[in-house]
Structure 1
Amino acid sequence: MIRLHDYWRSSASYRVRIALNLKHIAYERHDIALLEGLHRAPDNLARNPQGFVPTLEIDGAMLTQSLAIIDYLDAKYPDPPMVPHDALARSRVLAQALIIAADIHPIDNLRVLKRLQSQFGADQAARDDWYRHWVNEGFGALEMTAGDGPFLGGDAPNLADVCLVPQMYNARRLEMDLAAYPKLVAADAAAAAVPEIAAAHPDRVKSTA
């Protein structure tokens, strides 16, 4: 049994759910309630020493870090590929994915937002402004890298889209104005029409938590 330890609204978990669905890999979800602090519980720390989600339990191993998990899945289940085989195209897709996974997401993570409050006294409005600022920084660059679509990654969804979709969900949850990013909005809409991606949406999985 392949088991995904995740949280329904975690964007890193969302990425892995999308990849699993696109590759038609059957799995069982185990919800880790972040807001209740269960990610710091001993059983989750035993699976994931950072106390994060997601963790993918597969082939007798516990895999952590969403992009590393997706890389494993791509190596073992190569169809459809999450990154192109061509070296230049691969580099471009990875760069797009990392704008989100390395530059936006880490500094907008729940633990960072909590630290802004506990150490610097940032109220909810200030934390929301912080969040929107870094999304806008990344989205501005990402919009410039987008091609002719229909997906951010090109003709078919790949790792770039796997990262984009959860970040767009978060941006809308924070009521961001996305008018400056028409290519990203269009790519997200194309992805939302893919049944495997739609099935990974937080609202779809929350009821199974």
Structure 2
Amino acid sequence: MPDPSTIRAVECSPPCWMVRLALEEKGLDHECKLLNFAAGEHKSPEMLAKNPRGTVPVLMDGNIVVYETLAIFDYLEYAYPQPALLPNTNALRGRALTRLHEANNLKQVGMALFSYLMNTKAIDLDPAEVDHLASFLHDELFFWEYYYGIGHWASGSAIGLADLAVFAYVATAAHLGLELQQRYPNLHAFCLRMKERPSVIATWPSVWKQQPYSYLTEPES
């Protein structure tokens, strides 16, 4: 959690959410340990012993430790292949892996924006900087709007790992005020489909208020 003097706009880590979604989609019993970031719990001796980089998420499967979000995805798909979140044909799997790694572009621009909103005191928030960072997010969303116009899911006829990644970042942006329906109707429909899934219902951030913020809401012309 950010310091109380900051905006506290992003209370949930999209990478952690992605992993929780994957665990739920695979029906794996798990326990989610919440860490206090303001207190530095993610860099405690216990956590650094598991991940010397001090980042989250970290997956513990018995004595096996896996960190880095995409590595966790790969591990879960290998160790618990059913239900599958990657297709089993070469062509579809190739596209699915491409989309999954493409989502790193969404992570880069999304986290740059989210981190600024989370770590900047309200009095220091610069609307021009928000617009500047948001412009990179919009450039990236153009690609995903196109992909979700081709099909309901990013890489085939069924939900996959790429969809979990995209949803975590797009839903967070919507929480910050990004209006999808008019500008990104395909992404809007995708998010509505996702919100009906038990995995999303089970993991929806409890700290998010019902009404989204307005940081990314564009003024009416």
TM-score, normalised to structure 2, is: 0.76
Q: In the alignment, residue 169 of structure 2 is paired with which amino acid?
A: Q
Alignment RMSD: 2.9
Shift of 1:74: 0.6
Matches of residues 77-116 of structure 1 in structure 2 within 5 Å? 77-100=80-103, 102-109=104-111, 113=115
The answer as to 2:205 corresponding to 1:202 is yes
What SS does the corresponding residue of 2:81 show, helix, strand or coil?
Answer: coil
Q: Which structure has the highest strand share of the two?
A: 1
Moved more, 8-17 or 40-49: 40-49
Structure ID, larger Rg? 2
Shift of 1:26: 0.3
Shift of 1:138: 1.3
Gaps of 5+ in 1: 1-6
Contact 2:194–2:200 at 8 Å: present in 1 too?
A: yes
56, 59, 63: which one pairs with 2:59? 56
1: distance between equivalents of 2:207 and 2:90? 36
171, 185, 189: which one pairs with 2:188? 185
Moved more, 46-55 or 13-22: 46-55
1: distance between equivalents of 2:15 and 2:178? 20
1: distance between equivalents of 2:55 and 2:129? 21
Matches of residues 4-153 of structure 1 in structure 2 within 5 Å? 9-100=12-103, 102-109=104-111, 113=115, 123-153=125-155
Shift of 1:61: 1.6
Shift of 1:198: 2.0
What SS does the corresponding residue of 2:173 show, helix, strand or coil?
Answer: helix
TM-score, normalised to structure 1, is: 0.80
2: distance between equivalents of 1:83 and 1:54? 21
Q: Deviations over 1:16-51 (max 9, x none)?
A: 001000111001111112244322332222221111
Give the 3 Å change call, closer, same or farther, for CA 40–112 of structure 1 in structure 2. Answer: farther
Moved more, 23-32 or 151-160: 151-160
Gaps of 5+ in 2: 1-9, 209-221
Shift of 1:204: 7.8
Q: In the alignment, residue 175 of structure 1 is paired with which amino acid?
A: G
Q: Deviations over 1:174-202 (max 9, x none)?
A: 21232322112111211111112321222
Q: Percent identity?
A: 26
What SS does the corresponding residue of 1:30 show, helix, strand or coil?
Answer: coil
